[in-house]
Structures are given as structure tokens and as C-alpha cells.
Amino acid sequence: MSLSIGVWGIDESGNKYRLKLGIGKNLAGTYGTRHRLWGAPIMSRLGLEILPSLKSGDLVVNTPEALSRLKQEAKIIQENLVIIMQETNVTEQTVIGSTSNIIEAVELAEANNGFVTIS
């Protein structure tokens, strides 16, 4: 089972519409990464707030400030890749792939006045 990223846009009338991500770009890891990666103690020590909350539930990131913070958190993870891999035993491919997908999803949501879900 995988953690899936959803991206939604909101049109001028306030209607929501689903935005399409490329093949494999909707993945934020496996279900096990909720605890092993996103919920790992290192994430809180790095000052992250949004992604660690995946440990206990799904995310809906729906304000410009929260989207910006989510993107920043994904970049912090990439910048601290070595220590995160050491502490979580999660592969580089999973960490970089998941965070890159999150960044791309946020940018797509921002361009469409939308929001991101991870579930």
C-alpha cells in the first residue's frame, strides 16, 4: 500500500478540480514510511511540523502559507539526506523520490490556486 499525493485546483467560481501528476509522481512512499520516515524523531528535530503529522493521519495542505511550508520541509529533508537515511534506514531513492514528488505537487497546486493531499 502506498501513500498517494493528490493535487487539486480551484477555479474562479470556487469549484475544485483534480490535477494530473505524471506517472509515479503521485507517490509519497509506502504506508510504512508514515512511521519510518515521516514520523521519525529526526523530522521533529529538524523543525518539521507538517510532514511528521503523516504519522497519525492524512494531510490536506490548503493555504498558501502551508503549501510553502510543505515545500520547505521537503527541501530540508533533501538537504539532510545522509542523516535521515542513517536514522530511518529508508533508501535514498525513497527519500529523494517522495520529497521531489511533494515539491512538484506543491508547485502545481500553487500555480492553480489549489491544495495538496497526502493519504
3-state secondary structure at position 33: helix
Burial of 112 per CB tally in 10 Å (0-12, 13-18, 19+) = middle
The model carries a pTM of 0.97
User: What is the Cα–Cα distance from 85 to 115, expressed in whole angstroms?
Assistant: 29
User: Could you report the per-residue pLDDT of 16-42, keeping only the tens digit for each?
Assistant: 999 999 999 999 999 999 999 999 999
Q: Give the Å distances, CA to CA, from 79 to 45, 63, 75.
A: 14, 24, 6
Q: What are the structural domains of the chain?
A: 2-118 (3.40.1760)
pLDDT of residue 1: 86
